[in-house]
Structure 1
């Protein structure tokens, strides 16, 4: 029997809490994973590569389109009294709240701007000059590693996939794959630790599920 807390399955809360505790008490996991993608002679394997550039630069325009297009359709629906894709005020409110609270407020404004964690490539371990600090530990290193803004933006597409009426599993899978690929290149380019990407994923996913449940009151509101 599936049990929810604040409209989010309990097992997702559990996975978030357990993974967070692991990152805090076993921080060497971050160093180990980054080291797998690092060569002392050449640096991080994806840094400066064409695929890193494509995925890194794709997030902002994709997020912009994912927000702007539904708004334009909503305005069109109002003006011509149509119901294209069933996009209404609630759908727009949901989309805007997810992006504002998850990637915006929690990831970028609270964590990234105030935690100070140095990026992998900036740490002494990987040829930099700053100290490594575990996830969730506030640092004076002046870095912006915790947590990953690009990962949060990429996984924002999961929020849109939740609205899909047809082939929801496909769209969810596509959103997850994109988020994982962006997370990978951020780690492989030395921009983030593994924990930075995992935390951003959970923040955005939990925010999406919570707001979906609140706004649509547990009912399945989907777009065509």
Structure 2
């Protein structure tokens, strides 16, 4: 099934819709998955070296991912060179993939308005707040849906689309990094499974659409 809609494979759209419905109809999936990381008193991975490393790696990696291309772009402009092909169009794309998916869609629209409580705060895991399913808006201030860390980590997918060679290798590494960060957030009780999965699909779909709109060509992955 290689058909695409807005430069996104049809199976990605179908997977997003199907999994979203699954989490809405069977919200206990989130509780079940989170329970694997809860020992009855705490989320035992919270504060561990691997969790802290992945959690705190996102910000510096994103800063580097923006300022390194920006520096090359400025150098190219000044010297009239074309190192790595970073021109105004590429910089526009980089700014948008960092701003729209993790910034606007996840943080401004979802996190600031959904109010879903985090696993560490709900009664099922020793907290005092009520658990609510994914996609169900609440008036609480949990800001769990969806995951900002996961969205930021998965935004490297957008950079992988720029790779001139071995694009599938870079895409695999970007997705694996996003999965690692997502797992660390779920294991630490910072997010439910549906939070990180939703962020993945938002970023994947947004970056592929932006790639198509800006470069006027379909991606090969």
Aligned ranges 1:6-45 → 2 under 5 Å? 6-41=6-41, 43-45=42-44
- SS of equivalent to 2:129: coil
User: Unaligned regions of 5+ residues in structure 2, if any?
Assistant: none
What is the match of residue 85 of structure 1? 84
- CA contact under 8 A between 2:97 and 2:206: conserved in structure 1? yes
Q: Is contact 2:150-2:200 (8 Å) kept?
A: yes
Q: In structure 2, do the counterparts of structure 1 residues 87 and 220 end up closer, same or farther at CA, with 3 Å as the change threshold?
A: farther
Please give the secondary structure, in 2, of the residue aligned with 1:47: coil
In 1, the alpha carbon distance for the partners of 2:197 and 2:183 equals 11
Residue equivalent to 1:95: 94
1:1-224 matched pairs, under 5 angstroms: 2-41=2-41, 43-218=42-217
Q: CA deviation at 1:5?
A: 1.1
Structure 1 gaps of 5+ residues are none
The answer to whether the 8 A contact 2:73-2:87 is kept is yes
Question: Which sits farther off after the overlay, 5-14 or 28-37?
Answer: 5-14
CA-CA distance at 1:141 after TM superposition: 2.1
Residues 142/219 of structure 1: CA separation in 2 closer, same or farther (3 Å cut)? closer
- Asked if structure 2 preserves the Cα contact closer than 8 Å seen for 1:70 and 1:87, the reply is yes
TM norm structure 1: 0.95
| CA pair 193-56 structure 1, distance change in 2 beyond 3 A | same
Q: Aligned-pair RMSD on alpha carbons?
A: 1.2
Question: d(CA) in 1 for partners of 2:184 and 2:19?
Answer: 21
**Structure 1 segments (4+ residues) deviating >6 Å:** none
TM-score, normalised to structure 2's length?
A: 0.97
Structure 2 CA distance, aligned partners of 1:83 and 1:153?
28
C-alpha deviation, 1:173, in angstroms: 1.1
2-side partners of 1:171 and 1:81: how far apart?
28
